[in-house]
Chain A
Amino acid sequence: MSEPIAYYPGCALEGTGHAYDRSTRAVGAALGLPLQELKDWNCCGAMEVKNIDPRLQTFLSARNLRIAAEMGHHTVMAPCNGCYHNLKKAEHDLTHDPDSRETVARLADKSGEAAYQPGSVRSIHALEWIREALGADGLRARVKNSLKGMKIANYYGCMYSRPRHIFPEKDKGPGSESTSRPHFMDELLAAAGAENMEYPLKTACCGGAHTLSDSDTSTRLVLNLLTAAEECGAEVIATECPTCHSGLEMHQARAARVFGKQTRVKILYFTQLLGLALGLSARQVGVAENLSDSRDFLRARGFR
């Protein structure tokens, strides 16, 4: 067992992204990577609070980082792209923007809490968590039930790599993640036995910010992602963000009902796919809890 790291599930993983929470925890347990949930965490503000004022968002994430530090952690892991992005954005703004730093200090003081000291906690995504702890080779050695060449389009979305400014550790050459052509998920799923498709829309937008307020735009963007994946030969789109994931599922259904455009590609969290490869059951990784139904597809592939 390695040292536990702080786990920040975020609001979506308590709701529509429940299967992502379940599969993340199950994969952690199967790999012997302990997680300790942040105490009294708050919402990161997602993509909404920043539109009221970006500094409020910085305050929200700084509060979570401060809690991680107080719990004695040096690393906090978030599986949600939105949460991860906001933690990184807060760290960046607190380090580079005096106005953000002063505002957050003032808000923390008013709320009767200590202010977060930038640089004391490192924020990582669930992809980095598994990759750092085991690497692709370490993961390959643990695979019990290979994905057996399952054809996968790896979809990373916007918030995992944009804007580049807030990810200073990326684009540092071999071994580091790329902001324009991310590959961490590809590497992990390849180790689990998947065949990764050359998918040009890895970092295209699903319209998640306006999934309900401008549904037609979101449906058009998602339909583009789905049809491109099918044309690349993918059977599954692997996701690593609950907003993207539920957006893809919802607008796949909406495209069929409202636009009359049917697509068959399955949508699964990368943690669900990893879990299945590690020998966990479909139930243990929450396949039935997804909005879309992938059960028959997985059963036909021998995953129960």
Chain B
Amino acid sequence: MTIHEKSLIRPENLIQHDKLVIDGVDVSGDWSTFIAPRVITDYNEALEAEIAAMPGGQHIHRCWQCGSCTNACTVNALNPDFNPRYWIYLIRLGMESELLRDKDIIWQCVSCNKCTNICPRDVDPEGVMKATAHWLELKGHTPRSPAMTFDHEFSAQVVATGRIEEGRLLQRFFARTGQKLTQDWLVGLIRGLILRLPVGLLARLGLAALRPPRTRRWDGAQRAMNEFIAEQTTAQRKALGLPPETAR
């Protein structure tokens, strides 16, 4: 007999025999295909609590698996493996190794908030995606993603000066992720702009790049935010049972 919905079974879990005799009966042909038995023993029972301890993950326990998040998801429409409903399910059951199969795409959430908008239980799936991406990196399952690198560069600049100067952000991000600033589509775009811009404005933009804008009277906020980030990092590492961060 054929296995219905065979496409839903992972290839490695399908066992196919060219010739098979069971109890003296030759069952070669259609009868020789089996689904491998699965026994799951490696639960991480703390997984849900660990994700809930990451920023954005605190409401994961509310999920009742309706699937509205995945149905609404922007990234899912591009890649069906991007499945927030399923990941929330795995996290709540503690199926860490199954979750880790998708570890390299979870960071790709674009924060369009379609899931959080539609969720009938206020799980904040968008926050859960970010919490899970954090968890993956803190646990050392994935290297720092380009998106998280950008978040850190961006936040560091806001904390330091109160504002973002896009040119400098771009430059630092490209340097950090080993990309060339001279990608030809970007060069073409900027060359076109420079040819059109009035000289006065060009001079002003150039000046902004040399002397980035700053928020005045920012020292207090800077100090408070730095202390808060350090305090939260310590708390997060503790919640995951990791040793305190060593000075970088």
Note whether A and B form a binding pair: yes
A binding-site residues for B, Cβ under 8 Å: 11-12, 14-16, 18, 40-43, 45-56, 59-60, 63, 103, 107-108, 110-113, 158-159, 162-165, 179, 204-205, 207-210, 212-214, 217-218, 220-221, 249-250, 253-254, 256-258, 288-291, 293, 295
Q: Are A48 and B150 in contact (CB under 8 A)?
A: yes
Which of B145, B146, B216 meets A40, CB within 8 Å? Answer: B216
- Known A-B contacts A42-B163, A289-B197; A205 and B112 likewise in contact (beta carbons under 8 Å): yes
| CB-CB contacts below 8 Å: B185-240 with A | 185-186, 188-190, 192-193, 196-198, 201, 205, 208, 213, 215-218, 220-225, 227-229, 232
Expressed in whole angstroms, the Cα–Cα distance for A113 and B201 within the complex equals: 35
- Known A-B contacts A162-B117, A258-B185; A14 and B201 likewise in contact (beta carbons under 8 Å): no
Q: A42-B158, A210-B146 are in contact. List 9 more A-B contacts (CB 8 A).
A: A18-B201, A40-B216, A41-B215, A42-B218, A51-B147, A110-B220, A213-B145, A214-B108, A289-B201
Chain B contact surface mostly? helix
B218 proximity list for chain A (CB < 8 A): 40, 42
Q: Are B192 and A293 in contact (CB under 8 A)?
A: yes
B88 proximity list for chain A (CB < 8 A): none
Expressed in whole angstroms, the Cα–Cα distance for A214 and B145 within the complex equals: 10
A46 proximity list for chain B (CB < 8 A): 154, 164
B74 to chain A, nearest CB (A): 4
Q: Are A56 and B229 in contact (CB under 8 A)?
A: yes
Interface string of B153-185 (1 = CB under 8 A from A): 011001000111111001001100100000011
Q: Are A54 and B185 in contact (CB under 8 A)?
A: no
Chain A contact surface mostly? helix
Q: Are A212 and B108 in contact (CB under 8 A)?
A: no
Which of B75, B116, B173, B215 meets A212, CB within 8 Å? Answer: B173
Q: Which of B134, B193, B216 has the most CB of A within 10 A?
A: B193
A190 to chain B, nearest CB (A): 27
B151 within 8 A of A: yes
B152 within 8 A of A: yes
Nearest 8 A/B pairs, CB to CB? A111-B220, A205-B112, A213-B146, A110-B224, A48-B154, A257-B185, A11-B164, A162-B113
Q: Are A257 and B188 in contact (CB under 8 A)?
A: yes
B174 proximity list for chain A (CB < 8 A): 212
B130 within 8 A of A: yes
Can you pick out 19 interface pairs between chain A and chain B where the beta carbons lie within 8 Å of each other?
A: A11-B165, A12-B164, A14-B208, A15-B164, A49-B154, A52-B55, A53-B55, A55-B228, A63-B221, A108-B224, A110-B220, A158-B112, A162-B116, A164-B117, A208-B110, A209-B110, A210-B108, A221-B74, A293-B192
Q: Are B166 and A12 in contact (CB under 8 A)?
A: yes
B142 proximity list for chain A (CB < 8 A): none
Number of interface residues of B (CB under 8 A): 67
Expressed in whole angstroms, the Cα–Cα distance for A41 and B224 within the complex equals: 17
B165 proximity list for chain A (CB < 8 A): 11, 14-15
Smallest Cβ-Cβ distance to A258: which chain B residue: B185
Q: Which of B112, B145, B151, B227 has the most CB of A within 10 A?
A: B112
- Known A-B contacts A12-B166, A107-B228, A209-B111; A52 and B151 likewise in contact (beta carbons under 8 Å): yes
Expressed in whole angstroms, the Cα–Cα distance for A290 and B193 within the complex equals: 7
Which of A18, A55, A213 meets B149, CB within 8 Å? Answer: A213
Expressed in whole angstroms, the Cα–Cα distance for A111 and B162 within the complex equals: 13
Interface string of B40-67 (1 = CB under 8 A from A): 0000000000000001100000000000
B90 within 8 A of A: no
- Known A-B contacts A52-B229, A107-B224; A217 and B55 likewise in contact (beta carbons under 8 Å): no
Expressed in whole angstroms, the Cα–Cα distance for A221 and B224 within the complex equals: 38
B99 within 8 A of A: no
Expressed in whole angstroms, the Cα–Cα distance for A254 and B193 within the complex equals: 15
Expressed in whole angstroms, the Cα–Cα distance for A192 and B224 within the complex equals: 47
Q: Are A163 and B112 in contact (CB under 8 A)?
A: no
Expressed in whole angstroms, the Cα–Cα distance for A63 and B186 within the complex equals: 35
Smallest Cβ-Cβ distance to A48: which chain B residue: B154
Q: Which of A54, A162, A220 has the most CB of B within 10 A?
A: A162
Which of B114, B151, B158 meets A43, CB within 8 Å? Answer: B158
Which of B56, B164, B222 meets A54, CB within 8 Å? Answer: B56
